[in-house]
Amino acid sequence: MGRVGFAAAAACAVAACAVAAALVGRRVRARRRWWRAVEVVGEFEEGCATPLGRLRQVVDALVVEMHAGLASDGGSKLKMLLTFIDTLPDGSEEGIYYALDLGGTNFRVLRVQLGGKGSMILSHKVESQPLPEELKSGTSEILFDYIASTLKNFVEREEDDSQQKTDERRALGFTFSFPVRQTSVSSGFLIKWTKGFSIEDAVGKDIARGLEEAMTTKGLNMRVAALVNDTVGTLALGHYYDQDTVAAVIIGTGTNACYIERTDAIIKCQGLLTNSGGMVVNMEWGNFWSSHLPRTSYDIALDEESPNRNDQGFEKMISGMYLGEVVRRVLQRMAQESDLFGDATQNLSVPFSLRFYSSKMYNGASN
């Protein structure tokens, strides 16, 4: 019995050691997988690093492109588009105004009542809704018909009977968040689509005229008084509250910037005269590119697989439309090399399955 007991005890000890070894091995493997995941994140973080020296190089490259874009059309990655806006709101405006905002994700209709100095915004009403995906690749007629119908319904709900009967043709502001070569403050021709739009028959067409034709068909007595980029609209709002505001930046579905430039610095339009001596320039900096930008392997792969390869390089690195996809690619590599997410790994194989959501900040009175 002594020998039997000893053998049984030895067997139990061996089994316990085997179990312990298995557990330790599993923990070691798990730890190795975890550290590999950490390494992937570390490599990505290192690739995104922007030390002060690199930032200065990016700034210098941006300034060079800005000057080239102001000197001639097509001479720079930055279009540096003229807006024909030389005077911005200053808070003295009065009356009721309507506006539209067509961006990459949402479509907004706005009615605002301005009270002038001391009162400023008396009331405002905004309706926002996601733009149906099918409108982004249909025809311009279908898109503008949708916009005009939505605007008409909004106007009819907001105006009382006396306002509806007026014969006065109302002025409409149209924020159109895509590259447009403007011929005046109220007209401009679409250069190209960005942010996932691909309505081919609209390229090269006057955007304001297309909207006005749709409004006429719907019986809306309105005209486009101002056609602006969303960045220019942001600058106008900032200047409305603070007249020291001279520039604006958008980082949303896409990215862009605008600023007030001296007219004598806009060489491609020599002799251009404005009352203020300046003009708002729409940079269209989403297409900016420099070798000094911290481009990672994920950025390169995303661009290679995009329908607009080698285009909108800066936008693909920082804007909401692409940030979720960059994160997905990082997580997918972590999953492939560390098995960190288990069965959920297969969900990371779907392009653009992760979406980036940003909050918005509003300055001014709310109603």
For residue range 231-267, what is the model confidence (pLDDT) as tens digits? 999 999 999 999 999 999 999 888 999 999 999 999 9
- CA separation for the pair 134, 142 (Å, rounded): 10
Q: In the predicted model, is pLDDT for residue 186 greater than 90?
A: yes
Q: Which CATH superfamily is domain 81-282 in?
A: ATPase, nucleotide binding domain (3.30.420.40)
Q: Which of 195, 299, 303, 316 is catalytic?
A: 195
Q: What is the 3-state secondary structure (H, E, C) of 83-124?
A: CCCCCCCCCCCEEEEEEEEECCCEEEEEEEEEECCCCCEEEE
The per-residue pLDDT for 166 is: 55
Token pair for 251: 């980082």
Mean of the pLDDT values across residues 160-178? 74
The per-residue pLDDT for 169 is: 83
Residues forming beta bridges with residue 107, ordered by sequence position? 102, 129
What confidence tier does 52 reach under pLDDT thresholds 50, 70, 90? very high
SS3 285: helix
- CA-nearest of 236, 224, 218, 219 to 364 is 236
**Per-chain mean pLDDT for the chain:** 85
The model's pLDDT over 59-83, given as tens digits with 9 standing for 90+, comes to: 999 999 999 999 999 889 999 999 9
Most confident of 272-276, 295-299, 341-345: 295-299
Percent share of the chain, pLDDT over 70: 86
SS3 74: coil
Mean of the pLDDT values across residues 289-306? 95
Tell which wins on pLDDT, 29 or 292.
292
Mean of the pLDDT values across residues 273-300? 93
Q: Which of 101, 230, 299, 303 is catalytic?
A: 230
Q: Quick check: is 195 catalytic?
A: yes
Q: In the predicted model, is pLDDT for residue 8 greater than 80?
A: no
Mean of the pLDDT values across residues 198-219? 95
Q: In the predicted model, is pLDDT for residue 54 greater than 50?
A: yes
The per-residue pLDDT for 359 is: 43
The model's pLDDT over 109-150, given as tens digits with 9 standing for 90+, comes to: 999 999 988 788 899 999 998 889 899 998 999 999 999 999
Residue showing tokens 């481009």 = 295
Percent share of the chain, pLDDT over 90: 62
Q: In the predicted model, is pLDDT for residue 28 greater than 70?
A: no
The per-residue pLDDT for 106 is: 86
Domain boundaries, the chain: 81-282
- CA-nearest of 113, 48, 98 to 298 is 48
